Amino acid sequence: MKRLESAFEHVLFASRWLMAPVYFGLVLAMLLLLVKFGKEIVHLFASILTASGGELIIGVLSLVDIALIMNLLIIIMFSGYENFVSKMEDLHSHRDRPDWMGHIGFSDLKLKLIGSIVAISGIELLKAFMNVANLGDKHLGWMVGIHLTFVVSGLLYAAMDRLASKGH
């Protein structure tokens, strides 16, 4: 029976590698976002002479939005891989290795995720306010409500995380 239990535990432990293709899929998603970023910047430069200041600001905010999402994907890929799949031992001495790598735990990752969602939601809300003439009150109300929900959720999660860490 002990041998069966040990074999099961080894299979269970090895199953963490099923996440590796998921992290590679996020790399592919970053490539898609890079194409979208390139498309946005080409559009921005093409309309530089005809676009209003508000349209240019919305275009730049779209670029910032994509950059935030890509940064978030990097954090999720690196910390998720190191927390759940395998340590990146060969990269510990790499000169370009980010300082935060290997130091972000699952709780930190969730806080960074909710913080990024709040930032992305805030940018989307700002873009909507820049285009307020084309949006209805109901639409704007929903956007503000959703953003406030993200903000409150983030604050509550951070408070719960802080309370939980005091208990340890």
Q: Which amino acid is present at 146?
A: I
Does 167 have pLDDT greater than 80? no
The predicted-structure confidence for 26-41, as pLDDT tens digits, reads as follows: 999 999 999 999 999 9
Residue 95 lies in a domain: yes
pLDDT given for residue 23 in this prediction: 95
Residue 106 lies in a domain: yes
Cβ-proximal residues to 100 (8 Å cutoff; 6+ apart), any chain: 75, 79
How distant is the alpha carbon of residue 97 from its chain centre?
19
Tell me: the pLDDT tens digits for 48-83?
889 888 888 889 989 999 998 998 898 889 888 888
**What amino acid occupies position 145?**
G
Q: Is residue 7 part of a domain?
A: no
Is residue 1, in this structure, part of any structural domain at all?
no
Q: Is residue 12 situated within a structural domain?
A: no
Predicted confidence at residue 101, as pLDDT, reads 67
Handedness of CA 44, 45, 47, 49 (dihedral sign): positive
Domain that holds residue 29: 17-166
DSSP helix/strand/coil, 77: helix
Give the total number of structural domains in the chain: 1
Residue 34 in domain: yes
> Dihedral through CA 150, CA 152, CA 156, CA 157, nearest 10?
10
Give the pLDDT confidence of 86-127 residue by residue, as tens digits: 887 777 677 777 766 666 777 777 888 888 888 888 888 888
